[in-house]
Structure 1
Amino acid sequence: MEKITSIIILNYNSSKYTMGCIESILNSSCENYEIIVVDNNSKFEDFELLSKKIKSINQKNIRLKRNDINFGFALGNIFGIHEAKGEYIFVLNNDTLVDKETLTILYSFMVSNPDISLSIPAQYNRDGVYSPSFAYLPSVVNQWLGNGLCRLLKPHEYVDRKKIYNSPFQVQMGSGASMFFRASDYFKVGGLDPNFFLYCEEEDICLRMKKANMKIFFVPDAKIVHYGGGSTIRNDEIEIEFYRSLFYFFDKNYNFASSTLLKIRFIIKEFLKFCRKPSRFSLFFSILSKSSLSRSLRHRQEGNKIA
């Protein structure tokens, strides 16, 4: 592997976001990188626009790959990662902008800390407001008793997500919008799971890293802007897809008792929402009856409903 950073960017009908992201990378202080853009079968007009703009940049370290169907987040990124040559892999949402020093900070941090497998930059929204980019892995205890109680019992594991920090520290998991992997460790745990179409990919790979005693660190000096929702249209199908991924994540990573308790907790949450808003009945019923991974949107490919 070359001592460079391979940046993987997924595009789906959102080339304007993708080009903004690429331009922020080109304007960064980092020079040792490659950009691999994977188009997830966008509309022809969007792909052509993206293709022309990338060609106009005329740099050998930017490559564009196109899938013939929308494979979703995990598998779409996997195709890009398999093309990567770098010692580090930066999975980056296309609806982000990297700060000028971010790539340099993350690269230097990983070089200086060879025992760390994944680093997560700080995220800010389009208005410059801090938005937490690290979170807690789901457990029976934190889902039934709350993160507040867990923070009292284990303050080092449940660091307050709302505060702004100045120094790096270990976290349970990071946002899938910006994950800076040590490539060797990424492959050691098997990489992203292609069974996930839209959600829970980051929970899954972070949990596998935790089980392998790998360290995940939040690096606050590295900053990105994350617009959020750049290629996803929120609707009932997307919400159901979240539960398909979530329930698969529970079944895959937890024993039967824990998985069942976690599912029940989320079903109760949705039932309470339905009680407050009866119009959510069809959504609640679908979560109960259509949450199998075999019903994933990947298999239906309904155009702009898929991201």
Structure 2
Amino acid sequence: MKVPVILLNYNSSADCCKCVADLKRQEGVELEIIIVDNCSRKEDASAVEQLATEQGCTFIAAAENRGYNAGNNIGLRYAANKGYEYALIANPDMEFPQRDYVRRLIEEMEARKEVAVAATDITSPELVHQNPMMPDPKGWLSSFNWVKGILNRPAKETPDFIGDYKSSHVCKKVSGCCLMVRMDFIKRIGFFDEQVFLYCEEAILSKQVEQAGLKMYYVANLQAVHRHVKSTKGNPRKRFKAWISSRLYFERHYNYQGFWNHFMKTIGWKSYLAVFCTGDYVRSIMQRNKQ
């Protein structure tokens, strides 16, 4: 079986180079590596295009940067037009130590026709687990959880939003840094929701799977590494506002539980923005709250 792997590049040509080399070592499966450049700097876009030419990858340049979902949709539409059954979406900063990673992930989906999205154990280089993610709360109290940050509690080895990573199981939500999707499902929902530029894509996809009557599946015995090098790209305050905006969009369109519940959530998230989106402190909370 031939499977497309979609890498969305934004000024990450060095990461793309490493990821492509890793993917080229995959065994037991034929891959078409699709690199979508999301309007990177000219020199970075040129480097990625040259990489694609040298390594036999497909290169697609986005006409404009409309965000994570829109960028990945370019690759997904290409995959749909070619009739692919599955597609692996991976951030350029992913590493795949297991050479049968893609093949075995396909086998997991082949064995479970009700699964629309599958993902695996993903860790940071420091072995902090990033999958599976806990489902998003429906109640409004969760929108005030940021208050706990005032207490300056020490970080846990495994964050509160991560579930049981030791056993394979049907789950509610997975990280968007690396996941496999069933193309029939993607076409059925009209591809990823492009109304969010960045952030909360995982939460939205989780609800789309649920609304379609399908499932997400977490595979514990397959591992990938997410290096996720900290970046200073963009204005931190602007990025945090984007996160709040995406969160409110998700709550309104995918997690709506009535007027008063949504009203309290809006107060909670906007208070978060007003209280914490000042000074350098925003840099520390962005990492904790990016979901």
Matched, 1:172 2:172: yes
1:79 to 69, 74, 96: 74
Matched, 1:237 2:238: yes
Secondary structure of 1:192 counterpart: coil
Question: How far does residue 271 in structure 1 lie from its aligned partner after superposition?
Answer: 5.4
Which residue number in structure 2 is paired with residue 50 of structure 1?
Answer: 48
Which residue number in structure 1 is paired with residue 64 of structure 2?
Answer: 69
Alignment of 1:95-174 (within 5 A): 95-99=93-97, 100-140=99-139, 143=142, 161=162, 163-165=164-166, 167-174=167-174
Q: CA deviation digits over 1:55-76, x for unaligned, max 9?
A: 222x3xx200011321210101
TM-score relative to the length of structure 1 = 0.77
Which residue number in structure 2 is paired with residue 204 of structure 1?
Answer: 204
Seen in structure 2, the aligned counterparts of structure 1 residues 188 and 8 have a Cα distance that, compared at 3 Å, is: same
Question: How far does residue 108 in structure 1 lie from its aligned partner after superposition?
Answer: 0.6
Secondary structure of 2:70 counterpart: helix
Secondary structure of 2:85 counterpart: strand
Seen in structure 2, the aligned counterparts of structure 1 residues 256 and 238 have a Cα distance that, compared at 3 Å, is: same
Question: How far does residue 160 in structure 1 lie from its aligned partner after superposition?
Answer: 8.1
Question: How far does residue 178 in structure 1 lie from its aligned partner after superposition?
Answer: 1.2
Aligned residue type for 1:187 = K
Seen in structure 2, the aligned counterparts of structure 1 residues 38 and 220 have a Cα distance that, compared at 3 Å, is: same
Of stretches 180-189 and 133-142 in structure 1, the one that deviates more from structure 2 is 133-142
Q: 1:191–1:205: 8 Å Cα contact kept in structure 2?
A: no
Q: 1:13–1:231: 8 Å Cα contact kept in structure 2?
A: no
Aligned residue type for 1:112 = A
Secondary structure of 1:185 counterpart: helix
Seen in structure 2, the aligned counterparts of structure 1 residues 56 and 198 have a Cα distance that, compared at 3 Å, is: same
Aligned residue type for 1:64 = F
> How many Å separate the matches in 1 of 2:231 and 2:215?
31
1:31 to 29, 35, 38: 29
Gapped regions of structure 2 (runs ≥ 5): 146-159, 283-291
> How many Å separate the matches in 1 of 2:232 and 2:35?
18
Secondary structure of 2:179 counterpart: strand
Secondary structure of 2:35 counterpart: strand
Question: How far does residue 133 in structure 1 lie from its aligned partner after superposition?
Answer: 4.2
Q: CA deviation digits over 1:232-275, x for unaligned, max 9?
A: 6261111111111111111212143332232223234455647x
Question: How far does residue 115 in structure 1 lie from its aligned partner after superposition?
Answer: 1.6
Q: 2:22–2:95: 8 Å Cα contact kept in structure 1?
A: yes
Indicate the percent of aligned positions where both proteins have the same amino acid: 22
2:267 to 252, 264, 274: 264
Which residue number in structure 2 is paired with residue 153 of structure 1?
Answer: none
Secondary structure of 1:80 counterpart: helix
Question: How far does residue 137 in structure 1 lie from its aligned partner after superposition?
Answer: 2.1
> How many Å separate the matches in 1 of 2:72 and 2:175?
15
Which residue number in structure 2 is paired with residue 286 of structure 1?
Answer: none
> How many Å separate the matches in 2 of 1:30 and 1:207?
33
> How many Å separate the matches in 2 of 1:178 and 1:126?
15
Aligned residue type for 1:259 = H
Question: How far does residue 6 in structure 1 lie from its aligned partner after superposition?
Answer: 1.7
Seen in structure 2, the aligned counterparts of structure 1 residues 138 and 35 have a Cα distance that, compared at 3 Å, is: farther
Question: How far does residue 192 in structure 1 lie from its aligned partner after superposition?
Answer: 0.6
Question: How far does residue 180 in structure 1 lie from its aligned partner after superposition?
Answer: 0.8
Which residue number in structure 1 is paired with residue 213 of structure 2?
Answer: 213
Which residue number in structure 2 is paired with residue 5 of structure 1?
Answer: 3
Aligned residue type for 1:267 = K
Seen in structure 2, the aligned counterparts of structure 1 residues 232 and 179 have a Cα distance that, compared at 3 Å, is: farther
> How many Å separate the matches in 2 of 1:268 and 1:127?
33
> How many Å separate the matches in 2 of 1:208 and 1:194?
13
Seen in structure 2, the aligned counterparts of structure 1 residues 279 and 92 have a Cα distance that, compared at 3 Å, is: closer
How many residues are matched?
261
Secondary structure of 1:130 counterpart: coil
TM-score relative to the length of structure 2 = 0.81
Which residue number in structure 2 is paired with residue 91 of structure 1?
Answer: 89
Question: How far does residue 212 in structure 1 lie from its aligned partner after superposition?
Answer: 2.1
Q: 2:133–2:172: 8 Å Cα contact kept in structure 1?
A: yes
Q: 2:130–2:175: 8 Å Cα contact kept in structure 1?
A: no
